[in-house]
Structure 1
Amino acid sequence: MSTIALRGPARVVLTQHRRALQLLGALPVLVVVALVGASLWSQHLTDVFASTDCSVNHVTLDCGNTVHTFLDHELRLQKVFDWAALLMMVLPAFIGIFVAGPVIGREMESGTYRLALSQSVAPARWLAAKLAVPAVVTLACVSVLSAACAWAWSQPDNHYEKPEWYERGVYGSIGTVPVGYALCMLALGALAGLLLRRTVAAMVSTVIGYGALVMALNSVRDRLWPTVTTTFKLGSFDVPDRASLVRRGWLSASGQRLPDTTCQHWADDLEQCLADQHITRGYLDYHPASHFWPLQLVETGILLALAALAVALTFRVLRRRHG
């Protein structure tokens, strides 16, 4: 990153925090190298194992050690994606902490922001630079990381079960949602730093805010897009392939929905319970795999709206305190 083309507050921000921004910029390179290297090595191991004439499904005495070693290697390579997904889940919190603490909170706590405002720099311009530089780096880095994780997840399955698209580790590391969380936490971190004016307090409140935000969206995600409903005959049901099951229950003859716990205490006489309740069929509400992008885009829209609101509040607080 070059500071030659930048002037004023933006150049100051880039110079002050160049180490942290360089580290954030290096993350995509490291993750991409790790994921691509793991994929290529996995393919190499598969080719080598195929040349041994051993089989994972039918292990002979002579192939025991070979199969065991091959599966151990596959498990280690599977962990590479798990670590990349974990990084994507915690990265928004670290971005928020960075903005809330070193970028905003520390300057407000130490009073060094007065030096910048005394150099013919308008408060709004000072704050805009504090937000714009990390935002540009964050947008670029998280987008590359998300694309790398999506590519790694789409690779052919190995002998270990691949997590589904709706599981938190996958859903939160691919698509547009990681970008939304990162930008939202950047904005919330700036608001916390400006309001609290204490480095540690702003950082702690940002972490708490991130946890509350994740829990809130996890609890309502299934309702962000209409589910698909299917009914089934009594005695058997099958969740569609790769579908995220939202709820299941019973349907009475009148079409009334009853919870799936209606007859759970009638294990010894389930048929009698179903007859007493006039239950004729069961139902499933679920999100098919085709709902991935609608859910992603709606959740991303919510996150970007929260980010815009936080930025607007941040500038409002700044105007009230510093004109």
Structure 2
Amino acid sequence: MSAIALRGPERVVVAQHRWALWIMGVLPVLAVASLAGAWLWTDHVVDAFAATGCSVIHTTPDCGETVNAYLERQLWMREVLNWSGLLMLVLPALVGAFVAGPVIARELESGTYKLAWAQSVTPVRWLTAKLAVPTVVTLASVSVLSAACAWAQDRADRAHQGQVWHERTVYGSMGTVPVGYALCMLALGALVGLVLRRTLTAMVVTVIGYGALVVAFDSVRNTLWPTLTDTFKQGSDYRFPDAAINVGTGWLTRSGRRLPHEACLEWGPGFKQCLADKDITHRYFDYHPASHFWPLQLVETGILLVLAALAVALAFRVLRRRHG
């Protein structure tokens, strides 16, 4: 990123943190190249394996080494996807810690902000620049990384090498959620930096805040969108939908009242008698099918953006109260 086309405090922010901003800009390029290269190599291995005539299911002694090599490549591709997902999970914490520490708290701790404010730059203008530059870079970088992860996961799904969409490393690396978390942590980092005014402390608190945010959403995510419910008679050939999230299961009485699954244990003694005594006629499953990926993503992203807006508003309020 060049500071030539920028003026005022934005140019100063770019000049001060050019290496961190460059890393954020180069990271998507490296990630896309790595994912594309990994997939092309794996795809080549799949084609080469198909040409050998060997089978993973019906393996002959002559195909033992070939099958092992093929499975190792498939496992390697899954590891690449796992590490990509972990990178996307860690990235919002890094963004928040960077803004909280080096961008905001360090200037307040060292007193260098006074130099900017003494040169006709108001506190509000100063904070706006501190937020605007990282926001632009973060929005562009995380959007590209999310698109690259979605592309790789889609290719892996078609080759039956992918992971389930609701696994944390998959769900958190695709769609709009990564952008929502990154922007929310950027805003939270700015607020924490302004309040604490200590570089290391602000960075640690921001990372802890990110962990709490992730845990909170993991615990309520299944309630962000209405679930579907399937009912069936006990002993029927019902099949749970592929790739769905099991939100809850239990029993239904003849009157439609729900009972927990523990009300009658299938492996317990007197199971049939328990069903009869409690007038149970059906079993039910509450679940999120794969089609709920986008509704869940959009609702969660919306909440994260609202939290980000609140954090930004509080940050400017803190700034005005302390510095006018």
Query: Percent identity between the aligned chains?
Result: 67
2:144 equivalent in structure 1:
144
Q: Does the alignment pair 1:121 with 2:121?
A: yes
Structure-to-structure mapping, 1:1-323, within 5 angstroms: 1-157=1-157, 162-236=162-236, 237-264=238-265, 267-323=268-324
Distance 2:286 2:259 in 1: 13
**Distance apart, 1:245 and its partner CA:** 1.2
Q: TM-score, normalised by structure 2?
A: 0.97
Distance 2:77 2:292 in 1: 29
- Which 5+ residue runs of structure 1 have no aligned equivalent? none
- Runs (4 or more) in structure 1 with deviation over 2 Å come to 156-162, 235-238
Q: Deviations over 1:197-255 (max 9, x none)?
A: 00111011101100110111111111111111110111244211221111011001111
RMSD: 1.4
* Worse-superposed segment, 32-41 or 232-241: 232-241
Q: Deviations over 1:29-56 (max 9, x none)?
A: 1110011111111111112112222211
Cα 1:220–1:157 change in 2 (3 A) is closer
Distance 2:283 2:36 in 1: 45
Amino acid at match of 2:243: R
- Which 5+ residue runs of structure 2 have no aligned equivalent? none
Amino acid at match of 1:298: V
SS at match of 1:21: helix
Distance 2:165 2:126 in 1: 41
CA contact (8 A) 2:156 2:162 kept: no
**Distance apart, 1:81 and its partner CA:** 1.1
Amino acid at match of 2:132: A
* Worse-superposed segment, 299-308 or 237-246: 237-246
Aligned residues: 323
**Distance apart, 1:70 and its partner CA:** 1.6
**Distance apart, 1:22 and its partner CA:** 0.4
